[in-house]
Amino acid sequence: MPLDLEVIAHSLDRPLPTPNTFSQPFWDGARRHELVLQKCTECGTVRYYPRPRCPTCLSGNHEWARMSGNGFVYSFTIVHRPLARWFAEKVPLVCAVIELDEGVRMISNVEDVDLGDVSIGMRVSVKFEDVTEEITLPKFRPAPG
């Protein structure tokens, strides 16, 4: 019996994030297809992952700011072995550390690119994958131009 890729893409064993008090605005922004991150209102540090205190000045004061979604591949690896059944049809895939133009780094996938064309320093822009009604994942693709 052939695999139904549509069923695999939405299977329950797909690892998904669990939003919490600190991260819910991030996931709400992603659902709107906006990359929003915490920005300290005391020292201006942009931070990712969402957390209660600024890692630079320890202030608990922050705002949620929309990021450009543009950056570059700081580092990457190509994953060939699936870590869970859901990934079996997804590998090989690019797992990368993306440095946003705003200076913060986040881990995500780079898609819509031949694996051999991914390189450190490659310009990328955010794209969004609507996974469920609650969860939209920010991913990256080569920047136009």
Identify whether 15 is part of a domain: no
Range of the domain at 93: 20-142
What total number of domains does the chain contain?
A: 1
**Residue pLDDT, tens place only, 71-81:** 999 999 999 99
pLDDT tens digits, 38-62: 999 999 999 999 999 999 999 999 9
Assess whether pLDDT exceeds 70 at residue 11.
no
Bridge partners of 125, per DSSP, are 70, 141
How big is the CA angle at 74 (ends 138 and 144), to the nearest 5 degrees? 60
Tell me if residue 103 falls in helix, strand or coil. Answer: coil
Is 10 domain-assigned?
Answer: no
pTM for the predicted model, two decimal places: 0.87
Contact present, 142 and 114 (Cβ < 8 Å): no
Give the least confident one: 8-12, 25-29, 104-108, 137-141: 8-12
The rounded mean pLDDT for the chain is: 91
Q: Which long-range contacts (CB under 8 A, 24 or more apart) does 55-63 make?
A: 62/38, 63/38, 63/39
The answer to whether residue 12 sits within a structural domain is no
Give the amino acid at 131.
V
Residue 12's pLDDT is 53
In a domain, 7, yes or no: no
Residue 2 lies in a domain: no
Whether the per-residue pLDDT at 1 is higher than 70: the answer is no
What is the average pLDDT across 126-143?
Answer: 96
